[in-house]
Structure 1
Amino acid sequence: MRADAARNLRAVLRTGARLLAEDPATSMSAIAAAAGVDRRTVYRRFPTREALLAAVFQTKLDGSEQVLDEARLVEAPVAVALHRYVEGIIPVSREWPVDVRRMMRANEAASARMKEQSARLDRFVRRAADEGLIRDDVPQEWARAMLDGLIDIAAHRLPDLDPPRAADLVVESWLKGVGRD
Structure 2
Amino acid sequence: MSVSRDALLRAAAEFLGRRPNATQDEIASAVGVSRATLHRHFAGRLALMTALEELAISEMREVLKTVRPHEGSASDALHRLVSACRPVAPCLALLYSQTQDLDMDNTLEVWEEIDSAITALFLRGQRTGEFRPDLTAAWLTEAFYSLVSSTAWAIRAGRLADRDFDRHITDLMLEGVRNP
- Normalising to structure 1: TM-score of the pair? 0.77
Spell out the pairing of 1:29-178 with structure 2 (5 A cutoff): 29-95=25-91, 97-100=93-96, 102-103=98-99, 106-107=102-103, 109-159=106-156, 160-162=160-162, 165-177=164-176
Q: Tell me which residue corresponds to 1:13.
A: 9
Task: Report the Cα distance in structure 2 between the residues aligned to 1:40 and 1:46, rounded to whole angstroms.
Answer: 10
Q: Which amino acid aligns with 1:168?
A: R
Which range moves more in the overlay, 110-119 or 34-43? Answer: 110-119
- Normalising to structure 2: TM-score of the pair? 0.77
1:127 Cα deviation after fit: 0.6
Task: Report the Cα distance in structure 1 between the residues aligned to 2:168 and 2:20, rounded to whole angstroms.
Answer: 32
1:51 Cα deviation after fit: 1.1
Contact residue 115 and residue 141 of structure 2 kept, 8 A: no
* SS of equivalent residue, structure 2 residue 11: helix
1:111-162 per-position Cα deviation (integer Å, ceiling 9, x unaligned): 3222221121111110100111123434434544443343334322244533
Q: Which amino acid aligns with 1:15?
A: A
Q: Which amino acid aligns with 1:71?
A: V
Structure 2 unaligned spans of 5+: none
1:172 Cα deviation after fit: 3.1
1:6-29 per-position Cα deviation (integer Å, ceiling 9, x unaligned): x34234212332444455543222
Aligned residues: 174
Contact residue 58 and residue 110 of structure 1 kept, 8 A: no
1:92 to 1:41, Cα distance in 2 relative to 1, 3 A: same
Task: Report the Cα distance in structure 2 between the residues aligned to 1:166 and 1:121, rounded to whole angstroms.
Answer: 19
Task: Report the Cα distance in structure 1 between the residues aligned to 2:46 and 2:53, rounded to whole angstroms.
Answer: 10
Task: Report the Cα distance in structure 1 between the residues aligned to 2:100 and 2:110, rounded to whole angstroms.
Answer: 9
Q: Which amino acid aligns with 2:74?
A: V
- Compute the RMSD of aligned alpha carbons: 2.9
Contact residue 93 and residue 150 of structure 2 kept, 8 A: no
Task: Report the Cα distance in structure 2 between the residues aligned to 1:146 and 1:48, rounded to whole angstroms.
Answer: 31
